[in-house]
Amino acid sequence: MDGQLQSSASSLLGNKSGELSIGQTWGLSETTGAVTAVPKGEQDVSGSIGSILPSVEVRMVDDDFNDVQEGQEGEMILRTPLVTNGYYRNEKATKDAFHDGWFCTGDIAVRRDGRFFIVDRKKELLKYKGLQVAPAEIENLLFSHEQIREAAVIGVPAPDDRTTDLPRAYIVAVEGSSLTEDTVKNFVKDRLAPYKQLRGGVVFIDEIPKSAIGKILRRELRDRARQETQPKANL
């Protein structure tokens, strides 16, 4: 969650004095639990994932595994006894997941003022004319709209450039909402950079497809988008 969403969620606890707040943690199945967390007794509603836990080493690297500077986005890689030794009966997956003894999480983050902030999954990042666009950033913004109950963003290929992704939002509006595609686009336009705009369109649906544990099934949305954007056959 970004800071705005985290603060909004914390406010729903109904604690007027501010003694209670939602603190974030981060980890993967492969790490057998959390590798970062907000320390006990501390509060952090900045949207960060907390502090690195004991016995964990973290680096942030570019695609060539060079360490990035603070303020630059990079993939978080880990070295810790908590990480799995590999995937069961899958040597290729194990080999692909490690680089010189470091586990590649696939999570893109940025470090600011000594704090880590998750940007998105590496495989989910979109590219618009060479610039990276994180669907999670647009989704977090859409979640803040009072008439949007759920949202998911994927990329659809640009008609004139198959290497460029056009962000497309699937929206579940609150009941009785008067939202329109233009309203949603303008909401994003007023708050995000020009290359992060919803050029792929806005589609209103009844439900965002999710897995049993609540993860957005983006592949189903991509399949739906292909059907929606492919040319109609002449009958």
Output the pLDDT for position 173. Answer: 97
Among 69, 103, 119, which residue terminates a domain?
119
Among 92, 119, 146, which residue terminates a domain?
119
Output the pLDDT for position 232. Answer: 59
The verdict on residue 197 lying in a domain is yes
133 with 85, same domain? no
Output the pLDDT for position 13. Answer: 79
Q: pTM for this one?
A: 0.78
In the chain, which stretches have pLDDT less than 50?
A: none
Q: 4-12: list long-range contacts, CB under 8 Å, 24+ apart.
A: 4/47, 4/140, 4/144, 5/47, 5/140, 5/143, 5/144, 6/45, 6/46, 6/47, 7/45, 8/144, 10/45
The verdict on residue 185 lying in a domain is yes
The verdict on residue 234 lying in a domain is no
112 with 160, same domain? no
156 with 139, same domain? yes
12 with 101, same domain? yes
Among 119, 135, 151, which residue terminates a domain?
119
Q: In this structure, what CATH number is given to the domain that contains residue 166?
A: 3.30.300.30
Output the pLDDT for position 41. Answer: 83
Output the pLDDT for position 39. Answer: 87
| Structural domains in the chain (count) | 2
Output the pLDDT for position 61. Answer: 97
144 with 71, same domain? no
112 with 72, same domain? yes
Output the pLDDT for position 82. Answer: 95
Output the pLDDT for position 9. Answer: 80
The verdict on residue 192 lying in a domain is yes
Give the Cα separation of 35 and 83 in Å (integer): 10
109 with 130, same domain? no
pLDDT in tens, 122-178: 999 999 998 999 999 999 999 999 999 999 999 999 988 878 999 999 999 999 999
Q: Supply the range of the domain harboring residue 53.
A: 3-119
Output the pLDDT for position 4. Answer: 80
